[in-house]
Amino acid sequence: NGGHQDLHSAYRRQRQRCIRDRQQKQQQQQRRQRQQQQHQRQRQQQQSDDYETEEQQAEEEQHEADKEQ
């Protein structure tokens, strides 16, 4: 009977490890996805900032050209 109980305990421990490993893998994937989304938002913001800067420079150049005329 003790051998059966030991076998049951071994299976239970293995199952708990599998559950824990699966949860850890899911957490890692979620973390990776959040990081990728954050990087994508940062790139989009930088592109937007770059575009606005270029637009402002073009407006300033046009304003200067208008003043010279």
| Digit-coded pLDDT (tens) for 29-60 | 999 999 999 999 999 999 988 888 888 888 88
4 pLDDT band (50/70/90 cuts)?
confident
Per residue, the 3-state secondary structure of the chain, as one string, reads CHHHHHHHHHHHHHHHHHHHHHHHHHHHHHHHHHHHHHHHHHHHHHHHHHHHHHHHHHHHHHHHHHHHC
Q: What is the pLDDT of residue 1?
A: 67
Residue for token digits 């003043």?
A: 67
Give the pTM. 0.56
